[in-house]
Amino acid sequence: MADVRLASAQGKWILLTTVLGSSMAMVDSTVVNVALPRMGRDLDADLAALQWTVNAYMLTLAGLILLGGALGDRFGRRRIFVLGVVWFASASLLCGIAPDAAVLIAARALQGVGGALLTPGSLALIQASFHPDDRARAVGLWSGFGGIGAAVGPFLGGWLVDGPGWRWVFLLNVPLALLCVPIALRHVPESGDGRIHGRGFDVLGAVLGALCLAFVTYALIEAETGSVPVVVAAVAGVATGVAFVRVERRRPDPMMPPEIFASRQFTAVNIVTLFVYAAFSGFFFLAALQLQVVSGYSALAAGTALLPITVLMLLLSSRAGALGERIGPRIPLTVGPVLCAAGVLLMLRVGPDASYPTDVLPALLVMGLGMVTLVAPLTATVLASVSTEHAGLASGINNAAARAAGLIAVAALPLIAGMGPEAYRDPAQFDDAFTTAMPVCAGLLLAAAALAFTTVRRPPADCHHPECRTHASVTAPPLEGEQGGSGHAGTDEPGGPGLAGQAERNRPHPSGE
């Protein structure tokens, strides 16, 4: 029953559990980029291996995050959340003891599976457990503490890399899991939706989506070799993508119902999301390397250098969301990407012996202000473009789209910029490639601004509004749930139907048409 009060001892334990679980995944996603140069040197890995270290995680997370929410709805949200925490920590341990790059990449893929189970589950537990009068405040505290974790992540990661070593970036998740799991089992009530137990899962859709991303990613990362496997992977990526669309059109309970894209505004905002988060992921992947490889920063200095963006989002995202509600999303979704593009181009000043106050900080402040302006209204527009009962599903699709865009960007940008396998070991070569890549990121952001200006309209007054008012993650927009539902979709009932239960009756709202 969703009747736990936030002020009660149990309520505090539930909040602590969900914050610990979600922070594991959020902190991990923000610190790995800082550790990449040291990983490459210690494991004698080339640039492609570093790309796969990032992308293996994003691949399984993006491909399975929608399925993860549905599993919680059917088998119990606490059970799947705990499974995700244990899985994530076990994969983190394997990352921490990996003897070579191949094992590290495989372990990162397993980490993504755990992330797909625990990420939607943390919010779902809050919405299914707390009394309706306390739910909004609980979600606000959860997102706020998660933002603090995201802010601490780069600093903590840099300190670990320069101190105990990069392996502790992953090993740190093990004690967090050992703290989180017993609390969850003792204090968090189980919840689920008994009405969906007879329905099937779209496992085939999830597998085809993940395979499509995997084949395309491999083809982009290995494209310079021009080998037969690259051509085969590219063809297979197209084929599995077509198969995914066909399966989703024909299944009675698809993971990503095509009908939801009947809303033109929902489709347009998701395309904006693809452009924006492709640029963001490419920027953060390359900027962390540029600061260390070219500018000579230590891992700690590089992690700390990027902190202003996260701090700005943590402090101002809720206010930006309120402003977007007052003036409508069109202006924020146009101005935000333009500011981000300006920040990206200012990073072209960051070269050898770059000064932080005069070269790095101005670019990051402009970039951060752009992200603040953009992210909250983007989430609100996604939720407003479909009916209230499908807001959680829409949020899950938007989150998965952002992660898929980041996956493709990390694979494609080094290819577009002409980075060789050993580019991160050669400051001059990496600086030249960085100078080529940043205008590409800026171009994606300007394309997003143009699309938003021409397609986004003010949503109806009675549309669904975001519950996660504070957001500080730079890797993807926040997951949102329904009022009282799961982390993907629900109703006002405690433990209302989640993504699996909503898929069968998905009828997009006419708003945004």
Give a three-class secondary structure readout of 180-223: HHHHHHHHCCCCCCHHHCCCCCCHHHHHHHHHHHHHHHHHHHCH
pLDDT attached to residue 65: 86
pLDDT attached to residue 125: 87
| Separation CA 169–CA 159 (nearest Å) | 9
User: Nearest-5° angle of CA 281, CA 292, CA 428?
Assistant: 95
Helix (H, G, I), strand (E, B), or coil: what is residue 118?
Answer: helix
Burial class (CB in 10 A: 0-12, 13-18, 19+), 285: buried
Q: Is pLDDT of 509 > 70? A: no
C-alpha to C-alpha distances, 502 to 75, 170, 202, 365, nearest whole angstrom: 16, 36, 13, 41
Which residues are CB-contacts of 115 (< 8 A; sequence separation ≥ 6)?
25, 28, 57, 60, 61, 65, 84, 88
Residue corresponding to tokens 């970039």: 367
Q: pLDDT, tens digit, for every residue of 332-383?
A: 999 999 999 999 999 999 999 899 999 999 999 999 999 999 988 888 888 8
**Total residues belonging to the chain:** 513
Q: pLDDT, tens digit, for every residue of 176-198?
A: 999 999 999 999 888 766 554 44
What mean pLDDT is reported for the chain?
A: 85
Identity of the residue numbered 42: D
Q: pLDDT, tens digit, for every residue of 191-247?
A: 766 554 444 578 888 889 989 999 999 999 988 877 898 999 999 999 999 999 999
**Residue 414 · residue 47 · CB < 8 Å:** yes
What sign does the CA torsion over 372, 375, 378, 384 have?
Answer: negative
Which residues are CB-contacts of 426 (< 8 A; sequence separation ≥ 6)?
none
pLDDT attached to residue 388: 72
The number of beta carbons lying within 10 Å of the beta carbon of residue 246 is 11
Q: Is pLDDT of 392 > 70? A: yes
Report the range of poorest mean pLDDT among 87-96, 399-408, 439-448, 497-506.
497-506
Helix (H, G, I), strand (E, B), or coil: what is residue 117?
Answer: helix
| Separation CA 286–CA 50 (nearest Å) | 11
Residue corresponding to tokens 């070569």: 429
Calculate what percentage of the chain has a pLDDT beyond 90. 50
Q: pLDDT, tens digit, for every residue of 17-55?
A: 998 888 888 777 778 889 999 999 999 999 999 999 999
Q: Is pLDDT of 486 > 60? A: no
The number of beta carbons lying within 10 Å of the beta carbon of residue 340 is 30
Which residues are CB-contacts of 329 (< 8 A; sequence separation ≥ 6)?
377, 378, 380, 381, 384, 452, 456, 458, 459
Output 361 or 482, whichever has higher pLDDT: 361
| Separation CA 143–CA 141 (nearest Å) | 6
Q: Is pLDDT of 98 > 80? A: yes
Q: pLDDT, tens digit, for every residue of 55-95?
A: 999 999 988 888 888 888 788 889 999 999 999 999 999 99
> Among candidates 200, 237, 206, which has minimal Cα distance to 219?
237
Identity of the residue numbered 370: G
pLDDT attached to residue 2: 62
